[in-house]
Amino acid sequence: MIRQILFELWYLIRRTPWDSGISPPELMAFLDSHPPGRALDLGCGTGTNAITMTKRGWQVVAVDLSILAIRRASRKARKAGLSIDFRQDNVTALQDIGAPFDLALDIGCFHSLPQTARVRYAANLKRWLKAGSTYLLYSWLRDEDESQNNPPNEADILGLFSPEFQCRDVAHGKELKMTSAWFNFQRAT
């Protein structure tokens, strides 16, 4: 509940540095090399990536904890003449989302969850994605010597999703002085 209030406040005062309004090159490269299917956008914010995927022919279910973010996303999609299934909900407690999906996208949602919620999230993701599908995850990473629980480290992420997901690629970077990484997972058959 406190997390939701914080996110609502950030969206209310429009102080959301994560909401660039631009789909990242990692997503664009994936869309360029894969035929459209069904996508799940976890932590969709104001819908930038859901809109990008829909314009490329994907059927998208997009979820965010913030009702303000979902309202903005819905307005943007309507203005663009697009039909997207936006849902205000907790990504760890989703029900009846129309699984299975060919793609799940998470840009910054997973790393904001507490450890116990990450376990539920991973269990759900394993149910929602069909064999051979892709999970693209962008996450901040804590350094191996840090003892705090947030954000996760790379070993935490890889361990949480295996053996049901194989990691095809990890691309490391820095953002806002934080170590980060893009993970490209494939759901095992």
Token couple for 9: 């406040």
Total number of domains constituting the chain: 1
pLDDT digits (tens, 9 = 90+) for 130-151: 999 999 999 989 876 665 657 8
Tell me: the pLDDT tens digits for 33-80? 999 999 999 999 999 999 999 999 999 999 998 888 899 999 999 999
- Quick check: 137 and 106 in contact, CB under 8 A? yes
pLDDT for position 178: 80
The CATH number of whichever domain residue 152 belongs to comes to: 3.40.50.150
Question: What is residue 130's predicted lDDT score, i.e. its pLDDT?
Answer: 95
Taking the CA atoms of 37, 73, 97 and 82 in sequence, report the sign of the dihedral they define.
Answer: negative
Tokens found for residue 152: 């996760």
pTM: 0.88
* Side-chain-facing half-sphere of 95: CA atoms under 13 Å: 0
Residue whose entry in the numeric block shows the structure tokens 């789909």 = 23
Is residue 97 a contact partner of residue 61, using CB atoms and an 8 Å limit? yes
Cα 32 to Cα 20, 35, 57, 61, 102: the distances in Å are 21, 8, 11, 20, 15
Instruction: Give the domain extent around 104.
Output: 2-187
d(CA 30, CA 157): 21
Residue 112: predicted pLDDT? 87
